Amino acid sequence: MVTAADSGKARTSVWLAGGHTAPARRRTEAPSGLDRERITGATVRLLDAEGLARFSMRRLAAGLGVTAMSLYWYVDTKHDLLELALDRALGELPLPRTAPAEPVAPVRDGWPGRLRSLACGYRRLLAQHPWVAPLTAAYPNIGPHARAFDSALQRLLEATGLAGACRTGAHLAVSQFLHGCGGAARRVPDGDFVLALDVLIAGIEAKAAARPGA
């Protein structure tokens, strides 16, 4: 099972250590036919096919038809590659518009409907990529797609009218819900998930109505 550290040693996120760019090595010696994008895409496909527990650099290299050492021209560690794959998968999630195109159906197209759509989309993503949930627990979610997701959530919560500590609390509640109930995408029935999501949204609506602008 993957943990957040290599061999018990502290590590820095690939997004903080400059690892989002390929390691600075002599390009004339790099294997031909490979690049970081191709390797990351192959990692996502291998994780989908065989799961996190069976993932290894050797298996990945075999699928690409190269040696395992060839991969280290493009990433420093397996954990860096898993972080890159995690953010690649999060990039598949459609993000809501900042505001509805036509204000004709406020319940469906207002912030509750857009938040419901975002949450259900996240749940589908976790069902399609079961390895994403454990990786979000093991690594900081600070890649570009993870930040875009959080920004979309922040914009939705701004539309509630909540501010300050109330909005922070709502953000925490939604985030914990998605990573908890949403992370159990294969175990929690769809009806139970939707009911729990409706209760969460109703709570935010009630808080916004009780303390407008708070």
pLDDT digits 0-9 by tens, 83-138? 999 999 999 999 986 554 444 344 445 899 999 999 999 999 999 999 999 999 89
Q: Quick one: pLDDT at residue 130? A: 93
Q: Is the pLDDT of residue 7 over 50?
A: no
- 179 by Cβ neighbours in 10 Å (0-12 / 13-18 / 19+) ranks as middle
**DSSP 8-state code for residue 3:** -
Minimum mean pLDDT among 74-83, 111-120, 175-184, 200-209: which range? 175-184
User: 25 or 101: whose pLDDT is higher?
Assistant: 25
Confidence of residue 4 (pLDDT cuts 50, 70, 90): very low
* Across 188-192, average pLDDT: 86
Q: Is the pLDDT of residue 213 over 50?
A: no
**Cα R_g (the chain), whole angstroms:** 20
| SS3 call for 143 | coil
Longest CA span, the chain: 65
- Distance (Å, whole) CA 26 – CA 85: 25
- Distance (Å, whole) CA 177 – CA 193: 10
Minimum mean pLDDT among 29-38, 90-99, 146-155, 173-182: which range? 29-38
Q: Is the pLDDT of residue 20 over 60?
A: no
Cα dihedral across residues 136, 139, 141, 145: positive or negative: negative
Tell me the pTM.
0.83
Q: Quick one: pLDDT at residue 189? A: 85
Q: Quick one: pLDDT at residue 16? A: 86
Residue 176 makes CB contacts below 8 A (sequence gap 6+) with none
- Distance (Å, whole) CA 16 – CA 98: 28
- Distance (Å, whole) CA 162 – CA 156: 10
User: 48 or 213: whose pLDDT is higher?
Assistant: 48
Minimum mean pLDDT among 31-45, 74-88, 150-164, 196-210: which range? 31-45
Q: Is the pLDDT of residue 1 over 50?
A: no
User: 74 or 11: whose pLDDT is higher?
Assistant: 74
Q: Quick one: pLDDT at residue 104? A: 38
DSSP of 5-29: SBTTB----TTTTTTTS-----GGG
How far, CA to CA in Å, does 203 sit from each of 165, 169, 196? 15, 11, 11
Q: Quick one: pLDDT at residue 206? A: 95
Burial 14-46 (b: 16+ CB within 10 A, else e): bbeeebbeeeeeeeeeeeeebebeebbebbbeb
- Short-list 79, 84, 68, CA closest to 34: 68
